[in-house]
Amino acid sequence: MSTKDDFKFHVIGNGLPRTGTFSLMTALEMLFPGDCMHMYKVMDNPDQVLQHVLPDNSTDEDFKNYFISNNVTCGVDAPFNLIYKRALKEFPEAKVVLTVRDDPEKWVKSMLDTVCQAHGKNSHYKKFPNFLYYWYYPKRKQANAYMDNWPKFMEIVDSVENGKGVEFYNNWLEDVKSTVPADQLLIFNVKQGWKPLCEFLNVPIPKGPFPRANDSNEFVNSRRRVARISWATLLTLFGLTVFTGVATTYLVNKYVE
């Protein structure tokens, strides 16, 4: 367990979702001790993040203590990227990695195929009977509900769905470059692999390829899984209802006889 005296926050990842953030998370956890915050992990354990990290009215002490007490030494992806300026204030010595795509248009397409499918106007969680999925994963319901009502996050989704995704992407990059000192910032495409990242972070290059994960196909598989679980739950409930009705009728008739 880290203490305030020995804790070090290594990397602030402020790239937008769908810019290789999952791959970067995996890479950072190979390079540094401790955990890396990512939406993938927040979904299953959102309580402290929603209470101490994301709200503007959380105290600086609570904000910082979350990372120290949970040994979170890096952060990437939403929701972390949306509070990166606060993280930079609390951890001014951290290096900043801005993940980017080859083309903003490709980023928009990836967002439409993935994140917008979960949080946009036609969210698959809103489709019948997919809401039943949350019976098994109430923490994910809690996290998704927060994100769906968090203006900082929904600005990204709304911009993409309203045809302003490229503009949002370009503005985000320019804002980061104007905020973070140049010698503290690496603009990084995960296709570049280990070399530029490790040189920037001043760490040895690991053996083996740079991790690649969480492509659009995985989101498609996830949507299918949500649908399968939801329909299976609905059919089970229907079957139990029918069985209960038949059993009740039988017992009532038997009692009457």
Q: ∠ CA(90), CA(94), CA(99), 5° rounding?
A: 115
Which residues have a Cβ under 8 Å from the Cβ of 82 and sit 6 or more positions away?
Answer: 152, 153
Tallying the residues shown for the chain, one arrives at 257
Burial class from Cβ neighbours inside 10 Å (0-12, 13-18, 19+) for residue 4 reads exposed
pLDDT of residue 141: 83
pLDDT of residue 117: 87
CA 97 to chain centroid, in Å, comes to: 17
Reading the chain (257 residues) residue by residue, the pLDDT tens digits are 556 678 999 999 999 999 999 999 999 999 999 999 999 899 989 999 999 999 999 999 999 999 999 999 999 999 999 999 999 999 999 999 999 999 999 999 999 999 998 899 887 667 655 666 665 667 888 998 999 999 999 999 999 999 999 999 999 999 999 999 999 999 999 999 999 999 999 999 999 999 987 655 665 565 565 556 555 565 565 454 543 544 455 345 555 55
pTM for the whole thing? Answer: 0.84
Contact 94, 12 (CB under 8 A): yes
- Give the CATH H-level superfamily of domain 11-256: P-loop containing nucleotide triphosphate hydrolases (3.40.50.300)
What the block records as the tokens of 177 is 């470059």
Positive or negative: CA dihedral 182, 37, 150, 129: positive
Distance separating alpha carbons of residues 193 and 212, to the nearest angstrom? 10
pLDDT of residue 129: 56
**Is beta strand 72-75 parallel, antiparallel or unpaired with respect to 11-13?**
parallel
**DSSP reduced 3-state for 240:** helix
Contact 82, 152 (CB under 8 A): yes
Q: What DSSP string runs through 151-209? A: HHHHHHHHHHHTT-HHHHHHHHHHHHHHHS-GGGEEEE-GGG-HHHHHHHHT-PPPSSP
Distance separating alpha carbons of residues 125 and 55, to the nearest angstrom? 24
